[in-house]
Homo-oligomer: A and B are copies of this chain.
Amino acid sequence: MRLVAEEGYQAFTIARLASELGYAVGALYRYFKGKDAILAALEMRVVEQLQRDFAEGEQRLATHQGHAKLDEGSLALVGALVAIGAYESLGRRRPTHAKLLATSLGDPRELLADEVLAAGILPPLQGLLGHVASKLDAAAKHGVLRPGDAGERSLLVWAATQGVLTIRKLGRIREDFANPNLHPVMITSLLMGWGTSAEQAVDFLSRANGIVGFLSLESGVAIAEA
């Protein structure tokens, strides 16, 4: 994964990978049917880690003392934002994972066979979306959001977040596209569009960010930041 993230897919050859792992070329073929299978396994690992990240977010939110006084609906909304935040912050927490995920989502049919994508990656992602949807639904049920299709809304926040990530990548090439506030502003805009006040939106978001900021990092990242 490091190889892909640091030097691009072009550098991801079997020979290079084997040498980087300290194995012989042939050895890889004992464990994987071919290059595609390796890539697919990598993707799976990313998605599984993302699932654990979500669980961790939920766990932290549940055990966090600061939100004791929040009503159930608000808590649900913050929970949705934590999940979204876990997704959005992937690029900071696990850059290699983020790169891999972005590529396979942004460029389906090129990198991975559709079947692999459909079988391995999309279902978990859908699970995550379902999680967000249920939270948004609860928030709406408790009047924190205006009534609306929660499934659709979960798709919207995900799409909006994905779009922000895409543009963020362009920001590295042309700085006109670099705007670190893009994601919070995007989320705030959507929340307000769905009926919260500006103050609420900002409050929910800052609470969620407080949780997300403590999500576990890739070990290398943790060390680097220390």
Contact = CB atoms under 8 A, between A and B. Distances in A.
A8 B114 CA distance: 13
Interface stretch (A16-24, A74-82, A181-189, A209-217): A181-189
Interface string A51-73: 00000000000000000000000
A147 interface: no
A170 B10 contact: no
Contact of A108 (B164, B170, B191, B193): B170
Given A103-B110, A159-B160, A166-B106, A179 B152 contact: yes
Nearest to A159: B163
A126 interface: yes
A1 to B, nearest CB: 16
Interface residues of A, number: 47
A170 B122 CA distance: 9
A107 interface: yes
Given A190-B190, A190-B193, A192-B193, A9 B110 contact: yes
Interface of A: 8-10, 102-103, 105-110, 114, 117-118, 122, 126, 152, 155-156, 158-164, 166-167, 169-170, 172-174, 176-177, 179, 181-182, 185-186, 188-194
